[in-house]
Amino acid sequence: MGRLGNMSRSGLSYLEKTSQDVFGNTIDIPSALDRRTVQRFHCNGTVSAGEWVQLDHTGQTHSARVVTVIQAAAVALGNPAVVGVALADAVAGGFVDVCTRGYVEDAAVANAVGAAGIGLVVDNTTAGRAVAYDAADTAPQCGVTLEAAAGNTADVYVYGLGTDS
């Protein structure tokens, strides 16, 4: 086969924002633009859709620590174990799909984050909810707002720390 037989796929991106249905109507196709990575984890507690989750590195042992998540704890100076945003409600003993990189609508973000483009961290305020990153935080940013928060939610981009970097 030679060199051509060993080529790898580079990963093509689909960048269309709209398409047409069978009747010729223009339709929005935001799901094609998600560009997000979703991973399924074991859940070791109650998690609500939109909440930030972290690896359960203290409640599990061995490799279970990296396949099990819990609601992200509020940690002074930021929680470095945050891996993403839960996409559905989950309970202990079940599974939860987590966006570990990419776009999420209505992620848990404090109302005080009043603009788009603000770096986020799960700090010492409320478990599972991100706040604006500040210079004192030592954990890396876990995402960025794409709009001002309202009702303690905002559309965000998850940076992809931890499991899929």
pLDDT 10s digits, 24-47:
777 666 555 557 899 999 999 999
Residues 100-147 have pLDDT tens digits of 999 999 999 999 999 999 999 999 889 999 999 999 999 999 999 999
Instruction: Give me 90's structure tokens.
Output: 């989950």
The CA distance from 50 to 53, in Å, is 9
Q: Which token pair is 127?
A: 């478990």
- Burial category of 44 from C-beta neighbours within 10 Å (exposed 0-12, middle 13-18, buried 19 and up): buried
Contact between 158 and 83 (Cβ < 8 Å): no
161 to 81, 82, 89, 110: CA distances (angstroms) = 9, 8, 22, 21
pTM exceeds 0.85 for this model: no
CA Rg value for the chain: 18
Residue spans of the domains in the chain: they are: 37-158
